[in-house]
Amino acid sequence: MEYAYPIVGLVGGMALIATSVFSAFVYTPTTSSLVDTTITAFTGVTLQIGDFLAVSSATAIVFDLLATQLGVRYSLLVPFTIGYVLTHVIVYYSSLHITDVQSQPLDPDFDIRENPLQLVTLSIPGALILLPTEDRRRSNR
Protein backbone atom coordinates (compact mmCIF):
# COMPACT_ATOMS: atom_id res chain seq x y z
CA MET A 1 0.00 0.00 0.00
CA GLU A 2 2.92 2.36 0.60
CA TYR A 3 3.74 2.34 -3.13
CA ALA A 4 0.18 3.16 -4.20
CA TYR A 5 0.76 6.89 -4.67
CA PRO A 6 4.09 6.61 -6.52
CA ILE A 7 2.73 3.90 -8.82
CA VAL A 8 -0.40 5.92 -9.57
CA GLY A 9 1.84 8.96 -10.16
CA LEU A 10 4.06 6.97 -12.52
CA VAL A 11 1.13 5.62 -14.52
CA GLY A 12 -0.62 9.01 -14.52
CA GLY A 13 2.56 10.74 -15.65
CA MET A 14 3.08 8.26 -18.47
CA ALA A 15 -0.55 8.74 -19.54
CA LEU A 16 -0.07 12.51 -19.64
CA ILE A 17 3.12 12.13 -21.68
CA ALA A 18 1.34 9.77 -24.08
CA THR A 19 -1.45 12.34 -24.44
CA SER A 20 1.10 15.04 -25.22
CA VAL A 21 2.92 12.90 -27.78
CA PHE A 22 -0.35 11.85 -29.41
CA SER A 23 -1.57 15.45 -29.68
CA ALA A 24 1.79 16.45 -31.21
CA PHE A 25 1.51 13.68 -33.80
CA VAL A 26 -2.10 14.48 -34.63
CA TYR A 27 -2.14 18.27 -34.78
CA THR A 28 0.35 20.77 -36.15
CA PRO A 29 -0.19 24.42 -35.25
CA THR A 30 0.06 26.60 -38.34
CA THR A 31 -1.13 30.01 -37.18
CA SER A 32 -1.35 32.03 -34.00
CA SER A 33 -5.08 31.44 -33.63
CA LEU A 34 -6.71 30.69 -30.31
CA VAL A 35 -7.15 27.02 -31.25
CA ASP A 36 -3.48 26.60 -32.21
CA THR A 37 -2.34 28.38 -29.07
CA THR A 38 -4.62 26.27 -26.88
CA ILE A 39 -3.48 22.98 -28.40
CA THR A 40 0.18 23.98 -28.19
CA ALA A 41 -0.26 24.96 -24.55
CA PHE A 42 -2.10 21.69 -23.85
CA THR A 43 0.73 19.70 -25.43
CA GLY A 44 3.38 21.52 -23.41
CA VAL A 45 1.54 21.41 -20.10
CA THR A 46 0.69 17.70 -20.34
CA LEU A 47 4.30 16.95 -21.30
CA GLN A 48 5.77 18.89 -18.38
CA ILE A 49 3.32 17.69 -15.74
CA GLY A 50 3.59 14.12 -17.00
CA ASP A 51 7.38 14.19 -16.91
CA PHE A 52 7.33 15.68 -13.42
CA LEU A 53 4.90 13.05 -12.09
CA ALA A 54 6.66 10.11 -13.71
CA VAL A 55 10.21 11.13 -12.78
CA SER A 56 9.36 12.09 -9.20
CA SER A 57 7.44 8.84 -8.71
CA ALA A 58 10.26 6.75 -10.15
CA THR A 59 12.78 8.61 -7.98
CA ALA A 60 10.69 8.00 -4.86
CA ILE A 61 10.36 4.29 -5.63
CA VAL A 62 14.07 3.82 -6.39
CA PHE A 63 15.32 5.60 -3.29
CA ASP A 64 12.78 3.84 -1.08
CA LEU A 65 13.87 0.47 -2.47
CA LEU A 66 17.50 1.41 -1.87
CA ALA A 67 16.67 2.19 1.75
CA THR A 68 14.42 -0.79 2.48
CA GLN A 69 16.08 -3.54 0.44
CA LEU A 70 19.76 -2.60 0.46
CA GLY A 71 19.92 -0.47 3.59
CA VAL A 72 21.47 2.44 1.68
CA ARG A 73 20.08 5.68 3.04
CA TYR A 74 20.61 9.17 1.70
CA SER A 75 19.71 12.61 2.91
CA LEU A 76 16.40 13.85 1.51
CA LEU A 77 18.41 16.39 -0.48
CA VAL A 78 19.96 13.66 -2.71
CA PRO A 79 16.74 12.20 -4.21
CA PHE A 80 15.27 15.69 -4.44
CA THR A 81 18.28 16.97 -6.39
CA ILE A 82 18.41 13.93 -8.69
CA GLY A 83 14.67 14.12 -9.39
CA TYR A 84 14.87 17.87 -9.99
CA VAL A 85 17.77 17.59 -12.43
CA LEU A 86 16.30 14.60 -14.29
CA THR A 87 12.91 16.28 -14.60
CA HIS A 88 14.37 19.47 -16.06
CA VAL A 89 16.73 17.71 -18.46
CA ILE A 90 14.00 15.36 -19.69
CA VAL A 91 11.45 18.17 -20.07
CA TYR A 92 13.98 20.31 -21.97
CA TYR A 93 14.92 17.63 -24.50
CA SER A 94 11.37 16.30 -24.74
CA SER A 95 10.11 19.79 -25.56
CA LEU A 96 12.70 20.11 -28.31
CA HIS A 97 11.67 16.79 -29.80
CA ILE A 98 7.93 17.52 -29.49
CA THR A 99 8.54 20.69 -31.48
CA ASP A 100 10.39 18.64 -34.10
CA VAL A 101 7.55 16.08 -34.21
CA GLN A 102 4.99 18.85 -34.67
CA SER A 103 6.95 20.32 -37.56
CA GLN A 104 6.79 17.03 -39.50
CA PRO A 105 3.58 15.30 -38.35
CA LEU A 106 2.90 13.48 -41.61
CA ASP A 107 6.38 12.12 -42.22
CA PRO A 108 6.00 9.47 -44.96
CA ASP A 109 8.70 7.32 -43.33
CA PHE A 110 6.72 7.06 -40.10
CA ASP A 111 3.28 5.46 -39.95
CA ILE A 112 2.02 5.05 -36.41
CA ARG A 113 -0.56 2.51 -37.60
CA GLU A 114 2.22 0.12 -38.60
CA ASN A 115 3.79 0.25 -35.15
CA PRO A 116 1.35 1.51 -32.50
CA LEU A 117 3.68 0.28 -29.75
CA GLN A 118 6.10 3.06 -30.72
CA LEU A 119 3.54 5.63 -29.55
CA VAL A 120 3.20 3.74 -26.27
CA THR A 121 6.99 3.57 -25.98
CA LEU A 122 7.22 7.34 -26.43
CA SER A 123 5.08 7.78 -23.30
CA ILE A 124 8.02 6.57 -21.18
CA PRO A 125 9.69 9.60 -19.60
CA GLY A 126 12.71 10.58 -21.64
CA ALA A 127 11.85 8.36 -24.62
CA LEU A 128 11.28 11.41 -26.81
CA ILE A 129 15.01 11.98 -26.60
CA LEU A 130 15.44 8.81 -28.67
CA LEU A 131 13.47 10.19 -31.62
CA PRO A 132 15.75 11.27 -34.45
CA THR A 133 15.93 15.01 -34.94
CA GLU A 134 15.24 16.63 -38.28
CA ASP A 135 18.99 16.85 -39.04
CA ARG A 136 19.51 13.14 -38.41
CA ARG A 137 16.47 12.22 -40.52
CA ARG A 138 17.83 14.15 -43.50
CA SER A 139 21.29 12.60 -43.20
CA ASN A 140 19.81 9.06 -43.12
CA ARG A 141 18.08 9.50 -46.47
Determine, yes or no, domain membership for 141.
no
Domains of the chain: total: 1
What's the CA gap between 121 and 68, in Å, rounded? 30
Is 90 contained in some domain? yes
* pLDDT of the residue at 104: 58
Report pLDDT for 95.
76
Domain that holds residue 59: 4-136
* pLDDT tens digits, one per residue of 31-90: 788 888 888 889 889 988 998 999 999 999 999 999 999 999 988 899 999 988 988 888
Single-letter amino acid, residue 99: T
Pick from 56, 136, 133: nearest CA to 98: 133
CA distance 68 to 84: 22
49 falls within a domain = yes
Spatial separation of the C-alpha atoms in residues 60 and 87, rounded to whole Å: 13
